[in-house]
Amino acid sequence: MPLSPAPVNKVDVLIIGAGPAGLMAANALVHAGVTVRIVDKKVVPVTVGHADGIHPRTIEILQSYGLGERLQREGTRFDRAAFYNPSPNGGIKRTQRTEAIFAPTARYPFLVTRHQGGIEALFRDSMASKDVFVQRPVVATSIELSDSRSDLESPDAYPVKITLKHLDSEDGDEEVVHAKFAIGSDAGAHSWTRKALNIGVEGDQTTSIWGVVDIVPDTDFPDIRNWTFIHSNQGTLMNIPREGDLIRFYIQLSSDTDFVNRETGRVDLTKASPDRIMEAAAKIMQPYRVVRVGNVEWWTVYIIGQRVAQTFSVKDRVFIAGDACHTHSPKAGQGMNASMCDTHNLAWKLSYVLRGWASMSLLKTYESERLKYAQDLINFDKKWSKMFSDKPQSEDNLEGVSHEEFLGMLASQSGFLSGIGIRYEPSTVVNNKHQACASKLIVGERMTPRDFVYAANVNPVNLHDVLPSDMRFKILVFAGDIKVEASMKRLHALGENMGTSNSFLWRFGQGAYEKVFDMLCICATKKDDMDFTDVPKFFRSHWSKVLLDDTDMYGRSGGGAYEAYGISREEGAIVVVRPDGYVGVVAPFDHVDDINQYFASFMLEAPEA
């Protein structure tokens, strides 16, 4: 059904909080044609500081929305990590340098830093092209959910009633908004939405106090442009290279500092100062010299909490996301990534339900996929923070954390830290029954990027560029070598099977399957041995739909994907990639029925015209 233009006090989705989680949701939904309002209590957006680390998987996701190139242009990438430990002669010395992150299948095997406001601007500018803007300063003052079962079960109903207060109006104007769905992506430990919904949190405040400064340094420290971990007898410091010549120091502050108010247990920023943080940094970095040039761009001091919300939704009509669901230390730079990945996971599901293409039950997989991830994240953070805070191993402190333990932790968690290895468990939208037919392409993980060439013109193309976040399922038909007669015969038979009215393409294609599904044919044939016109018309709605697993004209990229994916060139396979880029189901050519069943488990047929 078409999305009806709604009056401004009736919207498909109301989003509270325009940080990275809220903006990822808003941008994805707006481009999917969903009517969205997004509000934020801040008068103006963040322009410096705050979160700043973007991981390989998040870069891939941003690029799927067309935002990754600008991120890389405006941010700083870093490829190398350096580790320092106490020197026998006092001070520190370098123990080792390694890759900043080990993510061999990543399209972008590095980290990018950019201040949070720069990330948020990517989404805001993208939404502005659709004339949708963040309304601010606006807070929600009440939220009510209808208890009518028919309302709650109907994707067309507006069961969420939220009162918004415009803080810049002299009278404090309030308005009531009725929404089909709402997302609370408001700030962290103090999420208004989470509290208003009475969602509990599990976990605790720690005693770990950290200072953060963003500065341009004048220094002789040779690893100032690398991600650097310094364990000194004077304390622990993490250095992060940032855009331009900026760097960020995270410094562990002594627990007896007067920065903490003993009565409230909270940080008293009037007692802290960037100069005191820099003093601590200078001590830790001896014998290297470090002073700041010009102003401190941003700084803060905080005590780390490690908490996860008990549930991520109320009746699948109001959702919480991002810091409202999980808070933890910033030391592996996971926060902003986890937040954006939450709503990237949620947006397509909401869009499918709002369009009447999927049943409401699809929304349950948001919590099942993201709550488990959040718990894993907190568990990791506890171990990681402890290693960070503990004294380094030395002759006087044999019980301390050794460099090998520290590096081992980083290496063993690289799939998690890069986001590349995150795997969603089997569910209605993750079906690994035929995992064996694409043995190295893990169902539930993101589709692995590889370089291919277009059959029509041998232009190289990364698979991810043909898997944009356009709300469609991608049907990748790995046809094998179509110059082999048996393969071509099998491809024709597959086309006939998928062309029948029993096929998911027609049952769930909403009258014109290309609205819901994008189909590509990927051949193992060499570029000189075939033409794109050799592929049956059914599998090439356009010349760009035929890819080859072969090198480009100059041998600079391409080839080897069948092996990397564990797909047989003789048997082929069908790979279904979800709208968020995760592998949903794979099947051999003779098990299209299982793909039909996969879609039948959560998709709805179009009503008769």
Residues in touch with a copy of itself (CB under 8 A):
77-80, 97, 99-100, 104, 109-110, 220, 222-226, 241, 245, 454, 456-460, 528, 531-534, 543, 552-554, 556
Nearer to a copy of itself, 99 or 153 (CB): 99
Nearer to a copy of itself, 507 or 527 (CB): 527
Nearer to a copy of itself, 552 or 580 (CB): 552
Q: Among residues 237, 239, 247, which one has the least CA distance to residue 292?
A: 247
What's the burial of 316, exposed, middle or buried (CB within 10 Å: 0-12/13-18/19+)? buried
Q: How far apart are the first and last CA of the chain?
A: 10
Between CA 13 and CA 502 the distance in angstroms is 34
Nearer to a copy of itself, 438 or 535 (CB): 535
DSSP 8-state secondary structure symbol assigned to residue 105: T
Between CA 478 and CA 447 the distance in angstroms is 14
Q: Min. distance of Cβ 544 from a copy of itself in angstroms?
A: 9
What's the burial of 87, exposed, middle or buried (CB within 10 Å: 0-12/13-18/19+)? middle
Q: Min. distance of Cβ 100 from a copy of itself in angstroms?
A: 7
Q: Give the catalytic positions in this structure.
A: 52, 242, 250, 330
Q: Min. distance of Cβ 535 from a copy of itself in angstroms?
A: 11
Q: Min. distance of Cβ 58 from a copy of itself in angstroms?
A: 18
Q: Min. distance of Cβ 458 from a copy of itself in angstroms?
A: 5
Integer Rg of the chain from CA: 26
Tokens of 575: 């790979």
Strands 583-587 and 174-184: unpaired
Q: How many CB atoms lie within 10 A of CB 458?
A: 16
Return phi, psi of residue 304, to 5°: -85, 130
Q: How many CB atoms lie within 10 A of CB 573?
A: 26
Instruction: Bin 597: left if φ > 0, else alpha if -120 < ψ < 50, else beta.
Output: alpha
Tokens of 437: 């037919």
Q: Min. distance of Cβ 482 from a copy of itself in angstroms?
A: 14
Q: Min. distance of Cβ 226 from a copy of itself in angstroms?
A: 6
Q: Min. distance of Cβ 334 from a copy of itself in angstroms?
A: 21
User: At 63, which helix (H) or strand (E)?
Assistant: helix 56-64
Nearer to a copy of itself, 81 or 197 (CB): 81
Nearer to a copy of itself, 445 or 552 (CB): 552
Q: Which residues of 413-436 are buried (b: 16+ CB within 10 A; e: fewer)?
A: bbbbbbbbbbbbeebbbbbeebbe
Nearer to a copy of itself, 94 or 372 (CB): 94
Nearer to a copy of itself, 138 or 290 (CB): 290
Tokens of 569: 């060139």
Q: Min. distance of Cβ 545 from a copy of itself in angstroms?
A: 12
Query: Could you tell me the CA-to-CA distances from 179 to 61, 246, 318, 344 in Å, in that order?
Result: 27, 42, 10, 20
Q: Min. distance of Cβ 534 from a copy of itself in angstroms?
A: 8
Nearer to a copy of itself, 120 or 223 (CB): 223
Nearer to a copy of itself, 193 or 219 (CB): 219
Query: Could you tell me the CA-to-CA distances from 112 to 202, 224, 241, 298, 432 in Å, in that order?
Result: 31, 15, 9, 18, 33
Q: Min. distance of Cβ 303 from a copy of itself in angstroms?
A: 32
DSSP 344-379: HHHHHHHHHHHTTSB-GGGGHHHHHHHHHHHHHHHH
Between CA 322 and CA 537 the distance in angstroms is 44
Q: How many CB atoms lie within 10 A of CB 33?
A: 14
Nearer to a copy of itself, 147 or 554 (CB): 554
User: At 415, which helix (H) or strand (E)?
Assistant: helix 414-418
Between CA 567 and CA 582 the distance in angstroms is 17
Report whether 218 contacts 293 (CB < 8 A): yes
Tokens of 608: 């008769």
Interior angle at CA 22, CA 18 and CA 27, nearest 5? 100
Nearer to a copy of itself, 7 or 554 (CB): 554
Report whether 467 contacts 474 (CB < 8 A): yes
Q: Which residues pair with 301 in a beta bridge?
A: 211
Q: How many CB atoms lie within 10 A of CB 94?
A: 14
Q: Min. distance of Cβ 446 from a copy of itself in angstroms?
A: 19
